Amino acid sequence: MTTNLLKKIFIPLALLLIVSCSNKFESTIIKISYPKKLIKIEGKHALILPREKFKLTKKFSSDDCESWSVEIPTDRLLRESVTKLIESMIEDLTIINSDSGSGTIDKNDFKSIILFEEGSAYATFYTQRSTAKFKIELNSEILVKGGNKEIKNNVRSDQTWEKNIFLGCELKDGSKVALENALENLLTQIHSSVYQSIYKITR
């Protein structure tokens, strides 16, 4: 009787702990930091977002630091952050999803067309002796077109995080910091690349 009672109490409690542990990783809020001094661009421009999701490749070879529960929302982060950045830079911006068909756009209606062609992330995690090591790489390809000119920008940013596995190692916290820093650096590069590309095309 006592054994059955303990089972009834233990099993739901164990399930609750597992669910709560996994949910706390998925609900982690990523802070997005934009360049402090944004360059304003006049005129009418268009931003075209890709149909395909931005790829995330995870290569985790260790279960230390509760790495099994880490989620990296790459697609949402890249779409939202880049869109908001370009919106903040350009006074008159038209945002177009590639599903609507970029081939129907009249380029003469815009001083430039910014195509966010591809974006991807590559995350690795492993343990070397007693040190946990995490690395995140963010990549994006942005094509700026105007008139008879076009400029392709390949932008890349990476950050690392390390922690002794015996000193309160939680990859949830480490990956969050690394991702925030990598994203901040990526947005700074995109800001500079888009401005320089539009300037060269429209001057």
Q: Which long-range contacts (CB under 8 A, 24 or more apart) does 87-92 make?
A: 87/47, 88/34, 88/38, 89/38, 89/39, 89/40, 89/41, 89/191, 89/194, 89/195, 90/40, 90/41, 90/43, 90/45, 90/47, 91/40, 91/41, 91/42, 91/43, 92/42, 92/43, 92/44, 92/45
Structure pTM? 0.81
Cα separation, 189 vs 50, whole angstroms: 20
Kindly tell me if the per-residue pLDDT of 41 is higher than 70: yes
Kindly tell me if the per-residue pLDDT of 9 is higher than 70: no
Question: What CATH topology corresponds to 45-202?
Answer: Double Stranded RNA Binding Domain (3.30.160)
Question: Which residues 6+ apart lie within 8 Å of 66 measured at CB?
Answer: 21, 25, 170, 171, 172
The 3-state secondary structure of 59-84, one letter per residue: EECCCHHHHHHCCCCHHHHHHHHHHH
Task: Say which residue, 47 or 102, is predicted with more confidence.
Answer: 47
Among the residue ranges 114-118, 177-181, 186-190, the one predicted with the least confidence is 114-118
pLDDT, average across residues 120-146: 93
**pLDDT category, 104, cuts 50, 70, 90?**
low
Q: pLDDT by residue (tens digit) across 153-174?
A: 999 999 999 999 888 888 989 9
The confidence score (pLDDT) of residue 68 equals 84
